Structure 1
Amino acid sequence: MVDGLLEHVWVVLAGFGAGLLTSTVGVASLLSFPVLLAIGLPPVVANVSNTLGLIPAGAGGAVGFRDELRVEPRLTRQVIGLSAVGGLGGAVLLLALPSSVFEAVVPWLILGTCVLVAAQPRISAALRTRHGHADRPPRLRLTPVATLFVVLTGVYGGYFGAGAGVMMIAVLALSLDLDFGVVAGIRTTSLMASNIVAGIVFTLVADVDWTVVALMALSSVAGGYLGARIARRLPATVLRTGVLVAGIVTVVTMLT
């Protein structure tokens, strides 16, 4: 249980920063999860509480992206539904497997996320380049392969989630011809759905630090909304570098 004013402040700041990252870079948990570990929460409790606390960040992002979400409503609903199904699977995996499995794989999940964060500029550039080809009809439907990867990204979001936003950007960018803002809006909202379903499961059967959830919820919703508003204008180089440094430090700390 989180106790003490300074720890509360750190949780609030982590929630706000994670909310910003939810709607921009897409690696919210890579900021907030290490903070929760640093204040003394066990890894699984930190992960469960983090998932619940970041649901409002997705809601704030969805409000900020409301115009983009109206562009392809059918596709948006499909991706949200698939992510929700995946989130249920991820939550079940987290609770069914021993906590030692989670503690063993998390450093490698974070390391993989760092690689994805580093690759995100190339993903975004590929998406923008694809828009330059106006000689073929736009792709606006998920292929079976893309559908599978959307579900798997939802599973990852329900199990841990750091970098799930980058994964979803990659899946949507490589399989669809959509404006980047629309992709970001669908990404943010679909992963919120994954978190909601996983959060329901965690609420019923998992050990949750409700103080952390409440503090993160209050601050992350503001960060999510603000992040959505600045997502297409934010110079992400410094932010991305900070995320990479934080991720590498967390991996080294957990492996030593």
Structure 2
Amino acid sequence: MPLSHAVLILLAGMVAGIINTVVGSGTLVTFPTLLAFGYPSVTANVSNTLGLVAGGLSGTFGYRKELRGMTAVLKRLAPMSFLGGVTGAVLLIVLPPGVFKTVVPVLILIGILLVVFGPWLSKRAQAAHSDSDTRARRIALLVGIYGAGVYGGYFGAAQGVLLLGLMSVLMTDSLQQINGVKNVLGTIVNAVAAITFLIIAWDRMNWAAAGLIAVGSLIGGVIGARVGRALPPWLLRAFIVVIGLAAIGNLVLR
């Protein structure tokens, strides 16, 4: 691998680590970078997924303060992310390329709208509070987290936007706490998908690329946690919208 390519992949991993920790969509930086350097699409996807696990870990550690008191929530949601990640990773291997190409921009747009209108929708739901309504919201959250995990395991770009949108509507915690939970769940999906890829697509992994992305994203996760935690809720929501719209534009114009 040429030195210039290695440096650019490392930098792409760092930028992806920052974006993933603050919002999600870091894949839209690293994945196109690998494609531009001639890596086959599946190799780029599996190598990228493995590399970004490191950034998820450092970003989650950076949000440890916001995660205090969220253990019960994580115990409910983490298994759904685990199952969704496995499902998505298997689908990536067995389905023809581009199966989700049409629906992905729509999913991201839905995530953006949920982030924007999440507080209003959540307040309306609380105003109409009942035991059956609470159960329905919990079930909807579990199903939604599983679906986001499937999407994340299959492709992953803007998985964070989907997770933030779902949880903004269906949970009553602060946006920063939700972002901390998002980092944990996204890391679980990436890790499970990466392990699945290693088992069923070992020969398609490029270890050099994955290693460079891992080092870069590890650094980026630390930076991203500092940036994300410093943003007021309104600015964080605005950042999510901008990144989400950029993701849609990237996918539609590709």
Task: Describe the superposition over 1:168-191 as per-residue Cα deviations: whole angstroms up to 9, x where unpaired.
Answer: 111111111001111001101111
Aligned length: 244
* SS at 1:184 equivalent: helix
Paired with 1:114 and 1:149, the residues of 2 have a C-alpha distance of 13
Task: Find the counterpart in structure 1 of residue 78 from structure 2.
Answer: 80
- 8 Å contact kept, 2:157–2:247: no
| Residue 203 (structure 1) shift | 1.1
Task: Find the counterpart in structure 1 of residue 180 from structure 2.
Answer: 185
| Residue 105 (structure 1) shift | 3.2
Residue 230 (structure 2) pairs with residue 233 (structure 1): yes
Task: Find the counterpart in structure 1 of residue 217 from structure 2.
Answer: 220
Greater shift after overlay, 53-62 or 141-150?
Answer: 141-150
Change (3 A) 1:24 1:83: same
Paired with 2:65 and 2:136, the residues of 1 have a C-alpha distance of 20
Residue 246 (structure 2) pairs with residue 252 (structure 1): no
Change (3 A) 1:136 1:240: closer
Change (3 A) 1:158 1:183: same
Q: Which amino acid aligns with 1:22?
A: N
Change (3 A) 1:252 1:69: same
Change (3 A) 1:47 1:124: same
| Residue 136 (structure 1) shift | 7.0
Paired with 1:9 and 1:162, the residues of 2 have a C-alpha distance of 22
TM-score (normalised: structure 2): 0.84
Q: Identity over the aligned pairs, expressed in percent?
A: 32
Task: Find the counterpart in structure 1 of residue 47 from structure 2.
Answer: 49
| Residue 45 (structure 1) shift | 1.2
Change (3 A) 1:247 1:147: closer
Paired with 2:141 and 2:247, the residues of 1 have a C-alpha distance of 30
Task: Find the counterpart in structure 2 of residue 157 from structure 1.
Answer: 152
- 8 Å contact kept, 2:63–2:229: no
TM-score (normalised: structure 1): 0.83
| Residue 33 (structure 1) shift | 1.5
Task: Find the counterpart in structure 2 of residue 166 from structure 1.
Answer: 161
Task: Find the counterpart in structure 2 of residue 209 from structure 1.
Answer: 206
